[in-house]
Structure 1
Amino acid sequence: MKNVDYIIVGDGYAALFFAHQLIRNNKSFVIYSESRKSASQVSAGIINPVVLKKFTTFWLAQQQIDFLKSTLQEIESYTGKNYLVQAPIHRVFHDENEQKLWLKKSDNNELSQFLNKEFERVDVVNNPFNTGKVNQSARLDVNGFFNDFFLFFEENKQLIKEKFDYHKLNVSESVYSDVSFKNIIFCEGMGVKENPYFSDIPVNPNKGHHIKVRLSEAIPQNLTIKKKHFLFPTHNDLYFYGGTYDREQLHHHIDESAVEQLVNGLSEVYPYDFEISEVNFGFRPTVKDRRPIIGVHPENKNLYVFNGLGARGILNGCYFSKSLYDFIENNIPLHEEVSLSRFR
């Protein structure tokens, strides 16, 4: 029988950032991963403090950005790499009215540190009205982040590559299969709908597609272009373009209308030839009030849920992983806006 402080179920941002909290606090754990690409693992990795449709910000944006930067430095101490890619977002303006709105919003106290007042022209892409740079925006090296974390878990015998079987869980004895535990954290994304303990939490799937493309004319490497979707260089001379949002077409295969939407969007901002190399999709777990869902099971006090990170999985996963750890280990109450109890 193996004894651990924690079992983590899941392999996206919630699971990995919570695992980091356990590593930095010398807690023992195992993590169950089905070894298939989660929504987190096919995400763009955009780190962005601004809602780029309306030029607004969101709850705790600055605190989340600051906490992510310090957390990635802590992670670097054991993986040997920092996954923060300094490639700020350049929002392509549709017209002069958007330029004026950007400048007006940049005088707002909440937004002044994020909206750069100096407009810039970007080579190669269509931007007749220039672009606005989002200060403090960046990207996460998604492939490196997940690959290195799983390698670290494997080397430390913390990774179990199998689907978690709820029938093997004895809650009253705190035993799962041949593992004795103190607490289980369920970080399953949309997989939570199969979880008999938390299947009723109100997370809804939002399907997102992106394409990887080869461009005939390279765009600058040190930035991220945003008009309808995000465009940026990735590995092997490919570029990421996406992602879409769809709450209706929830089947588990590629939706051609989403691919068409991406091709049209890319053609609008990129006037040269391109070739699609691959198409990916995932299901983001979203919540109506746009807040994560974190908490303890009402009867089984050794079972916890960490879900509903939505489109801001990196920032939400990083920041609230510490809130969950402090809730469990230090009895620090969860913020009522993210607590599971708001639905009970």
Structure 2
Amino acid sequence: MEKVDYIIVGDGYAGVFFAHQLIKNNKSFVMFSEGRKSASQVSAGIINPVVLKKFTTFWKAQEQISFLKDSLKEMENYTGKNYLIDAPIHRIFHDENEQKLWLKKSENSELVNFLDKNFDHIEVVKNDFNTGKVNQSARLDVSGFFTGLFDFFENGSKLIKEKFDYAKINAEDSTYNNIQFGKIIFCEGMGVKENPFFSDILVNANKGHHIKVKLSEPLPQNITIKKKHFLFPVGKDLYFYGGTYDREQLHSHVDDSAVEQLVDGLSAFYPYDFEVKEVSFGFRPTVKDRRPIIGKHPEHSNIFVFNGLGARGILNGCYFSKVLYDFAENDSPLPSEVNMERFIN
């Protein structure tokens, strides 16, 4: 019987970043991956410490940005590549009032390191009131990240490409099929709704569409443009534009209305012809208070959950993977803000 310290169920940001914590700490593991692209794997990969609608920040933004950059450097030691793309976000201003608000917010102690006071003008797109640059923002090479990490896991016989069968868990004996495990971490995103151990945790699906387009006039390669959605190059003369947010239309096919919304959004500031080449969507696992859910099963002390990363999957997944590791390994107390028990009356 194979023995591992951990079984990870799920192959999105939560699972992969938790696997990194195990690698750092010389823990053995296997990861179950169904082979379907998760919401993480079709995400934009935006790394952003600022809420760009209101020019505010969020809980532990600086800590999360710094921790992510350190973690990606650590991953480079065994993947051979750093998947961080230095392409800062440039937010197109709608009018002079937004410029003034940006400058006012940039004096705030929580935002001074994020909101650049020098405005920029970008050729090709409409930005009559210029753009504001978000310092410390960047992108993750999403495709390269998952391909590189999965190759590393597979080469180390850590990747099991099959659907996890909950019925095969023997929690008392800590076995799954022919695997003896120390702990199981469920990182399944919206798949958790089928999980008999954690099906009642309060995550809600938020459906996001994005399009890949071919632009008739190319844009600069080293920036990410934001107006209503994000626009940036992804190679092969294609650009990513998205993503939408929809909590109502949750069926598993493309929504024409979402595609129309994206085409209209891009047309509003890109004045040249473009062609939609690809449409993708995923279901983000979101939480009412916009903070992750971490916890241990009330009856089985060897079964854990890590979910609810929402639209900030990269930052939340990376930073809170360490919080989860310390909780699982050392019984370190969880911050109340992410503890699963915060929703228990």
Instruction: Classify the TM-score, shorter chain.
Output: over 0.9
Q: Deviations over 1:17-41 (max 9, x none)?
A: 0000000100000000000000000
Are 2:56 and 1:56 equivalent residues in the alignment? yes
Residue in 1 that maps onto 2:150: 150
3-state DSSP of counterpart to 1:120:
coil
Q: Deviations over 1:225-275 (max 9, x none)?
A: 000000000021110000000000000000000000000000011110100
Residue in 1 that maps onto 2:25: 25
Query: Which amino acid counterpart does residue 18 of structure 2 have in structure 1?
Result: F
- Give the distance between the partners of 1:167 and 1:107, measured in 2 at CA: 55
Q: CA shift at 1:52, angstroms? A: 0.2
Q: What fraction of aligned residue pairs are identical, expressed as a percent? A: 75
Are 2:13 and 1:4 equivalent residues in the alignment? no
- Give the distance between the partners of 1:228 and 1:328, measured in 2 at CA: 39
Residue in 1 that maps onto 2:267: 267
Query: Which amino acid counterpart does residue 23 of structure 1 have in structure 2?
Result: I
Q: Deviations over 1:211-230 (max 9, x none)?
A: 00000000000000000000
Q: CA shift at 1:328, angstroms? A: 1.2
3-state DSSP of counterpart to 2:220:
coil
Query: Which amino acid counterpart does residue 205 of structure 1 have in structure 2?
Result: A
Report 1:261-300 matches (<5 A). 261-300=261-300
Q: TM-score normalized by structure 2?
A: 0.99
Query: Which amino acid counterpart does residue 255 of structure 2 have in structure 1?
Result: D
Q: CA shift at 1:336, angstroms? A: 0.6
Q: CA shift at 1:205, angstroms? A: 0.1
Residue in 2 that maps onto 1:239: 239
Are 2:339 and 1:333 equivalent residues in the alignment? no
RMSD: 0.5
3-state DSSP of counterpart to 2:146:
helix
Q: Deviations over 1:137-171 (max 9, x none)?
A: 00000000000011001100000000000111111
- Give the distance between the partners of 2:176 and 2:265, measured in 1 at CA: 48
- Structure 1 spans left out of the alignment, 5+ residues: none
Residue in 2 that maps onto 1:110: 110
Query: Which amino acid counterpart does residue 177 of structure 2 have in structure 1?
Result: S
Q: CA shift at 1:343, angstroms? A: 1.9
Q: CA shift at 1:320, angstroms? A: 0.2
- Give the distance between the partners of 2:112 and 2:175, measured in 1 at CA: 51
- Give the distance between the partners of 2:301 and 2:341, measured in 1 at CA: 13
Are 2:319 and 1:319 equivalent residues in the alignment? yes
- Give the distance between the partners of 2:148 and 2:311, measured in 1 at CA: 23
Q: CA shift at 1:6, angstroms? A: 0.2
- Structure 2 spans left out of the alignment, 5+ residues: none
- Give the distance between the partners of 1:105 and 1:204, measured in 2 at CA: 31
- Give the distance between the partners of 1:296 and 1:236, measured in 2 at CA: 44
Aligned pair count reads 344
Q: TM-score normalized by structure 1?
A: 0.99
Runs of 4 or more consecutive aligned structure 1 residues displaced over 4 Å after TM superposition: none
- Give the distance between the partners of 1:338 and 1:331, measured in 2 at CA: 15
3-state DSSP of counterpart to 1:41:
helix
Are 2:70 and 1:70 equivalent residues in the alignment? yes
Residue in 2 that maps onto 1:39: 39
